[in-house]
């Protein structure tokens, strides 16, 4: 894979993701700059998959900044809802004005899971697609998942997004109750990062 540096644009406007990506990149000595710091716009996510959307975000940021750019597209897929909200995870939290409220998104999620009945189960997984785009047109993508179950009511104050309702397989606390280091040991984002770092060689 091509080298990244001296500076990498993190093509996200999500503060929770940016924090996690910085933590995951910290041991690799890569200097990062967030999309908001560079005043980069938030592209419309028109893709039909996590990888499609990660690629369009990374491509736009690399083209506009002239620097290598890393984008993350991620979400929570619920078996009982046939994979929803999936790529619509952020959109489920938005009102008509575009303001996000994940309390509301989690309530909708639970309401729909209950409507699906107990036999539909409570299994869910997070997916994270990471795409690295270079200004010369090169692009490379990676995808990680973590499986678990939904719990109700939401628990914990750490993390972001849907973390308070997700318990990874083998754990007895939600992603919002565990320390960031524990989440980084197993999360969908950490799995995708492992692949990216291995490809960097």
Helix extents (H) in the chain: 15-25, 50-65, 102-115, 180-186, 188-200
Position among 30, 33, 45, 173 found at the interface with ligand ITT (CB under 6 A): 45
Tell me the window of 1-9, 117-125, 131-139, 155-163 that interacts with ligand ITT (CB under 6 A): 155-163
Binding mask 107-126 for ligand ITT (x = CB under 6 A): -------------------x
- Cβ within 8 Å of residue 74, ≥6 positions away: 17, 50, 89, 126, 127, 128, 129, 188, 189
Does 90 bind ligand ITT (CB under 6 A)? Our answer is: yes
Does 74 bind ligand ITT (CB under 6 A)? Our answer is: yes
The β-bridge partners of 117 are none
Cβ–Cβ under 8 Å, residues 160 and 18: no
**Tokens linked to 19:** 């924090």
How many chain residues bind ligand ITT (CB under 6 A)? Answer: 22
Q: Which CB, 45 or 112, lies closer to ligand ITT? A: 45
Residue nearest to ligand ITT (CB): 161
DSSP code at position 67: S
Task: Find the helix or strand (DSSP H, E) in which 142 lies.
Answer: strand 139-150
Position among 34, 86, 144, 161 found at the interface with ligand ITT (CB under 6 A): 161
Q: Which CB, 80 or 176, lies closer to ligand ITT? A: 176
Helix extents (H) in 29-179: 50-65, 102-115
**Tokens linked to 155:** 């628990």
Does 193 bind ligand ITT (CB under 6 A)? Our answer is: no
Q: Please, what is the minimum distance in Å from the beta carbon of residue 191 to ligand ITT?
A: 11
Q: What residues make contact with ligand ITT under the rule CB under 6 A?
A: 12-14, 17, 42, 45, 57, 72-75, 89-90, 126, 159-163, 175, 187, 189
């Amino acid at each position: 894979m091509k080298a990244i540096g001296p500076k990498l644009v993190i093509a996200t406007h999500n503060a929770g993701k940016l924090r996690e990506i910085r933590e995951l990149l910290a041991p690799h000595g890569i200097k990062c700059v967030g999309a908001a710091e560079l005043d980069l716009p938030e592209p419309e996510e028109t893709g039909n998959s996590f990888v499609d959307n990660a690629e369009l975000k990374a491509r736009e940021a690399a083209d506009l900044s002239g620097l290598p750019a890393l984008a993350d597209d991620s979400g929570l897929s619920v078996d009982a809802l046939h994979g929803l909200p999936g790529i619509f995870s952020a959109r489920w939290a938005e009102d008509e004005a575009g303001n996000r409220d994940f309390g509301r998104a989690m309530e909708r999620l639970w309401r729909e899971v209950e409507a699906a009945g107990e036999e539909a189960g409570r299994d869910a997984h997070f997916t994270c697609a990471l795409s690295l785009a270079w200004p010369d047109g090169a692009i490379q993508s990676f995808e990680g998942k973590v499986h678990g179950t939904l719990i109700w009511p939401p628990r914990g104050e750490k993390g972001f997004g849907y973390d308070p309702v997700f318990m990874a397989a083998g754990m007895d606390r939600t992603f919002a109750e565990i320390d960031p280091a524990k989440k980084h040991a197993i999360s969908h984002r950490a799995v995708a990062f492992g692949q990216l770092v291995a490809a960097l060689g």
